Amino acid sequence: MYDRGTVDVGTLAKLAAGCTEALQERLDALQELGGKLAALDGATCTGNEWWRDKTHPTKTPKLYILHSVNAACPLHGEPSPGGRLRVYVGSDPAKIEAAREAIAREETRQEWERELAGIQRGLSSCAYYLRSFYRELGYTIGDVGDGGQPRRW
């Protein structure tokens, strides 16, 4: 059990030494995800597949991409107010594959955005606890113009 009355300087030094590396690792991950998301701009589709005549015995099935009401799509644009986008893809295998890839990229984008938000929440929490740590020791964090270094009150 941890005794609050004693200070293990070695453990404290190890925690402090690893802090910068851990924070830099998360900042690098944040920057990497930001770059990946920027690369997907305009190349994703927020719609869903809808097939016409898919079960009809004599007609060729045709793919449409349907979007939610009032939902904009980076690939297909914006609907009229109160409307929804319906994009005809047809039965060309290359066009169908391109539409499916755009939908898959949107799912990937959403996953990366959730991951990005988690990293941002973690970094915000770390900033809070680091400020609390310095405050507990009687320091305050300087402004950016001061180099952002902790200083005594």
pLDDT score recorded for residue 130: 86
Note the pLDDT tens digit of each residue in 85-141.
Answer: 999 999 999 999 999 999 999 999 999 999 999 999 999 999 898 888 888 888 877
pLDDT score recorded for residue 44: 96
Note the pLDDT tens digit of each residue in 9-52.
Answer: 888 888 888 888 899 999 999 999 999 999 998 899 999 999 99
Identify the CA nearest to 61 among candidates 88, 28, 99: 88
The DSSP element (H or E) to which 151 belongs, if any, is strand 150-152
Residue type, 70: N
Cα torsion angle, 142, 146, 148, 152, sign: negative
pLDDT score recorded for residue 13: 83
CB 128, CB 136: distance < 8 Å: no
pLDDT score recorded for residue 148: 61
C-beta atoms surrounding 44 within 10 Å:
19
pLDDT score recorded for residue 142: 63
pLDDT score recorded for residue 17: 84
Residue bearing the bigger pLDDT, 53 or 137: 53
Sorted by sequence, the CB contacts under 8 Å of residue 113 that are 6+ apart come out as: 37
C-beta atoms surrounding 75 within 10 Å:
19
First vs last Cα of the chain: how many Å apart? Answer: 33
